């Protein structure tokens, strides 16, 4: 959460949240303008005209000049940037050189597949890690806690690529429990989801354990138990709720990547999501597609921060958003 938003002012529960949300949305605009300017400089100025990529290396100088004239690449840079902003405002993200279709259509085709992969990974991974972290913190120092600390350390010691390759080789190729490669139906997503969840458990379980353990050690927990409340009730109704702020922070950092997909998983398992599309666009120097993925990621990152701040205010009544 941005600490400068935790200032004294109107309570979000009495109307301040709506005004705060509008101000944060207004702040997104200059940030996105800066991202569009940076993307324009990287892909349109430094990257040069796409005429050579479109026409091929044997294109003549006259052909390149004609292409630049038809597509406006011969105009001054400020004019081209303003035109780029106008196109983005209309939802025109350009045309993909790799896929020979509008970039917006390319993104629409890949986003559903990416969400089908990344959303279950995030939801299942967060639920399992939070549950295990809660149990470990409640039995800190016990056999379960020590065993899980050792297991999570082992999980963190294995490189992510190893998880991806090992899951494909042993579970799909050797044991034939899952489809090996491609995307024909939902069963092709089971192994990538399993790999994604298992590979994230190590750091997530340790993080959530630390968060819950810090909350358990607070005086109000000892007071509630001393008054006769059962430890399990205090743990679920009070400790867990008060521990959700850092959980929201951790989840919000992953939200932008839900739409852009997992590059490694999609590449290794042949899943045609935005991660694979973006990687193919980089290899093919498809600047329009790469620029669109960068802009969409920036927008999603800003929206995720906004939603996280609003969630903080809802979870913690002490937060005041000026």
List pLDDT tens digits, range 187-196: 999 999 999 9
The span from the CA of 149 to the CA of 168, in Å, is 26
CA torsion sign, 274 to 275 to 280 to 286?
positive
Residues 309 and 230 in one domain: no
Residues 116 and 236 in one domain: yes
Residues 21 and 89 in one domain: yes
| Residue 146 forms part of a structural domain | yes
Rg (CA), the chain: 24
Q: Which domain range does residue 81 map to? A: 1-97+286-322
| Residue 107 forms part of a structural domain | no
| Residue 59 forms part of a structural domain | yes
Do 20 and 5 touch, CB atoms closer than 8 A?
A: yes
- Which stretches of the chain score pLDDT less than 50? 1-14
Q: Helix (H, G, I), strand (E, B), or coil: what is residue 2?
A: coil
Bridge partners of residue 102, in order along the sequence: 95
Residues 275 and 147 in one domain: yes
Residues 73 and 125 in one domain: no
Residues 32 and 132 in one domain: no
The span from the CA of 312 to the CA of 249, in Å, is 9
Number of compact structural domains in the chain: 2
Do 237 and 224 touch, CB atoms closer than 8 A?
A: no
| Residue 102 forms part of a structural domain | no
Cα separations (Å) of 233 from 224, 240, 253?
10, 10, 30
The span from the CA of 209 to the CA of 211, in Å, is 5
Residues 157 and 143 in one domain: yes
The span from the CA of 311 to the CA of 321, in Å, is 12
The span from the CA of 16 to the CA of 321, in Å, is 7
Residue 148's contacts (CB-CB under 8 Å, 6 or more residues apart) are: 132, 135, 136, 205, 209
Q: What's the distance, CA 160 to chain centroid? A: 17
The span from the CA of 235 to the CA of 46, in Å, is 56
| Residue 106 forms part of a structural domain | no
Closest CA to 44 of 291, 296, 279: 291
Q: Helix (H, G, I), strand (E, B), or coil: what is residue 97?
A: coil
Residues 243 and 142 in one domain: yes
- The position carrying tokens 């709506």 is 18
| Residue 227 forms part of a structural domain | yes
| Residue 75 forms part of a structural domain | yes
Residues 27 and 43 in one domain: yes
| Residue 71 forms part of a structural domain | yes
pLDDT of residue 4: 44
Give the end-to-end CA distance of the chain in Å, rounded to a whole number: 14
Do 224 and 238 touch, CB atoms closer than 8 A?
A: yes
Residues 254 and 175 in one domain: yes
Cα separations (Å) of 144 from 25, 110, 129, 158, 212?
45, 41, 14, 22, 16
Residues 157 and 135 in one domain: yes
pLDDT of residue 9: 41
Residues 194 and 93 in one domain: no
């Amino acid at each position: 959460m941005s600490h400068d938003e935790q200032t004294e002012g109107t309570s979000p529960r009495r109307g301040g949240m709506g005004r705060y949300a509008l101000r944060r949305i207004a702040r997104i605009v200059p940030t996105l303008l800066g991202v569009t300017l940076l993307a324009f400089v990287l892909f349109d100025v430094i990257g040069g005209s796409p005429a050579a990529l479109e026409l091929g290396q044997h294109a003549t100088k006259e052909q390149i000049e004609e292409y630049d004239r038809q597509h406006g690449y011969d105009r001054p840079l400020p004019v081209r940037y303003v035109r780029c902003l106008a196109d983005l405002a209309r939802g025109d993200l350009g045309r993909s050189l790799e896929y020979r279709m509008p970039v917006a259509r390319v993104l629409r085709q890949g986003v559903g597949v990416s969400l089908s992969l990344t959303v279950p990974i995030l939801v299942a991974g967060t639920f399992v890690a939070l549950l295990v972290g809660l149990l470990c913190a409640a039995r800190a120092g016990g056999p379960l806690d020590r065993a899980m600390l050792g297991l999570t350390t082992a999980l963190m010691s294995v490189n992510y690529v190893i998880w991806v390759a090992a899951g494909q080789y042993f579970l799909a190729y050797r044991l034939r429990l899952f489809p090996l490669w491609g995307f024909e139906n939902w069963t092709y997503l089971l192994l990538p989801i399993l790999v994604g969840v298992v590979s994230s458990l190590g750091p997530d379980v340790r993080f959530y354990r630390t968060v819950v353990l810090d909350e358990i050690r607070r005086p109000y927990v000892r007071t509630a138990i001393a008054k006769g409340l059962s430890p399990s009730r205090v743990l679920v109704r009070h400790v867990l709720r008060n521990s959700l702020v850092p959980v929201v922070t951790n989840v919000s950092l992953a939200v932008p990547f839900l739409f852009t997909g997992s590059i490694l998983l999609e590449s290794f398992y042949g899943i045609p999501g935005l991660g694979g599309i973006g990687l193919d666009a980089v290899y093919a120097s498809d600047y329009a597609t790469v620029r669109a993925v960068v802009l969409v990621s920036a927008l999603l990152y800003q929206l995720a921060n906004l939603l996280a701040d609003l969630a903080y205010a809802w979870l913690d009544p002490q937060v005041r958003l000026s």
